[in-house]
Amino acid sequence: MTRVLVAEDDADIRDLVAFKLGQAGYAIEAFADGASAWEAFERNPPQLAVLDVMMPGLSGLDVLRRIRDSAHASVPVLLLSAKSRDTDVDTGFAVGADDYVIKPFSARELLHRVNGMLARSR
């Protein structure tokens, strides 16, 4: 089963993402902060990571940098963010994101993006 790591400090958004991706047949590991997500990633790298950009402690960008510097640098990463300025999006891609979804987002669109990313990475 394809495993997806989700790191999002907003419980409602985290639950929505986990529910929608779980419904689609993915095994979800959801975390409320970047540090927990990074520990889980190191322990057992997923096939894809969905990271909120702004989280307390380790941000999604911090976790993304660590992923890109790790032995599992090729794991696709989708960033979720309320930051919608072009410079914010550019920063996300510059750090190594494979995709960037701006909040609020449609759960259906998120699922399409995840499906596409996983198809490309196979």
Q: For the chain, what are the domain ranges?
A: 3-121
Say what the pLDDT of residue 29 is.
98
Tokens coding 10? 């907003």
Strand partners, 99: 78
Rounded distance between C-alpha atoms, residue 51 and residue 122, angstroms: 20
Say what the pLDDT of residue 78 is.
98
pTM over 0.85: yes
Say what the pLDDT of residue 14 is.
98
Say what the pLDDT of residue 76 is.
98
Residues lower than pLDDT 70 in the chain = none
Q: Which CATH number fits domain 3-121: 3.40.50.2300, 3.40.47.10, 3.60.70.12, 3.90.1170.50?
A: 3.40.50.2300
